[in-house]
Amino acid sequence: MKHAFKQGTNPSAPTLVILHGTGGTENDLLPLANHISAESSVLGVRGNVLENGMPRFFRRLAEGVFDEADLIFRTKELYEFLGTAAVQYGFDRDNLVAVGYSNGANIAGSLLFHYADAFKGAILHHPMVPLRGLKLPDLSGIPVFIAAGENDPICSAAETEELSALLREAGAEVDVHWERHGHRLTSSEADAAAVWFAHMFRAQGG
């Protein structure tokens, strides 16, 4: 997978895996990652699917309608890539925190839905429920931050509540931060994510 890696200054801090929205690149969320944890190493990944020339992490059939078979395939592809990248760059595979926006948050959510050891934590900006009817793995002790818009036209407040409930039922520790700026990733939710990260991972210097 196309990607970029930036070595951090604190080897004990979680490595951030940044996952862009539709049309983004592996570098799009680098400023956000730096804001959340300037000391962390950062792995930016570009989605392998193109929609009208725009990179995505998986196909969709229509707005808000995912190609579930492709989502499952791409989730496994990304999971395996993270293991390969950990060997290549020498970071701890068990110390990863996802930072995703929109389509990137959805693939991060799908990784949580499929693998108990995908991430040590996750920051999801405007995610949807990736799949329904799936038995989630045991996510006990995994902290998840969700930034959502009360008036998000793509991801409704009800969908956010559903996703947070599913994650909590699987044992995850979920914090939801609400905004009123539609589907936009705002500076105020980035600030909230940074505060949350510092609280959750302070012991590791992140």
CA angle 15, 34, 196 (to 5 degrees): 75
Q: Give the closest residue to 78 by CA, choosing from 102, 42, 114.
A: 114
- CA of 28: how far to CAs of 20, 62, 75, 168, in Å? 6, 24, 20, 29
164 is catalytic: no
Decide: 32 and 191 in contact? Cβ < 8 Å.
no
How many Cβ atoms are within 10 Å of 97's Cβ, its own excluded? 28
102 is catalytic: yes
Catalytic residue among 37, 40, 102, 110: 102
Q: Give the closest residue to 161 by CA, choosing from 129, 201, 191, 135.
A: 129
In this structure, the dihedral spanned by the alpha carbons of residues 9, 10, 11 and 16, taken in order and rounded to 10 degrees, is: -90
Give the torsion sign (CA, 160, 161, 166, 171): positive
Residue numbers annotated as active site: 102, 152, 183
